[in-house]
């Protein structure tokens, strides 16, 4: 559960940083951030419902599947931001 709040906080910081520096995020980066936020919200809701309903198997499995989707979406998000920062560094230093 704390991981969900951490991810929401980090996504909030990314948007605040982008707004403060007037740098534009790529459409793929914005879409990935929104996708991760949507999966975090679904994961949180599934986790709470799983506990409320005394852990039915189908709900527990669904919660685990969303955990895997969240994990892969976060890795993809890190990849997008890392690739963009490397490209920006190459443009500013002329290392193309």
Q: Is residue 9 assigned to a domain?
A: no
Q: Report residue 56: phi and psi, to 5°.
A: -70, 145
Alpha helices in the chain (DSSP H): 2-21, 27-52, 57-93
pLDDT tens, per residue, the chain with 96 residues: 566 667 667 777 776 766 777 667 778 888 888 898 899 889 989 999 999 999 899 999 999 999 999 999 988 888 887 766 666 656 665 555
Res 81: pLDDT: 78
Res 32: pLDDT: 87
User: For the chain, how many structural domains are there in total?
Assistant: 1
- pTM given for the model: 0.70
What residue numbers bound the domain in which 53 lies? 29-96
Distance CA 21, CA 27 (A): 17
Q: Is residue 1 assigned to a domain?
A: no
Contact 63, 50 (CB under 8 A): yes
Q: Is residue 23 assigned to a domain?
A: no
């Amino acid at each position: 559960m704390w991981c969900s709040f951490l991810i929401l906080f980090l996504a909030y910081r990314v948007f605040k940083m982008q707004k403060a520096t007037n740098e534009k995020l790529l459409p793929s980066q914005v879409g990935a951030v929104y996708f991760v936020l949507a999966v975090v919200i679904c994961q949180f809701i599934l986790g709470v419902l799983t506990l409320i309903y005394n852990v039915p198997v189908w709900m527990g499995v669904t919660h685990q599947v969303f955990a895997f989707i969240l994990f892969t979406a976060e890795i993809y998000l890190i990849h997008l931001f890392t690739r963009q920062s490397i490209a920006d560094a190459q443009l500013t230093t002329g290392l193309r």
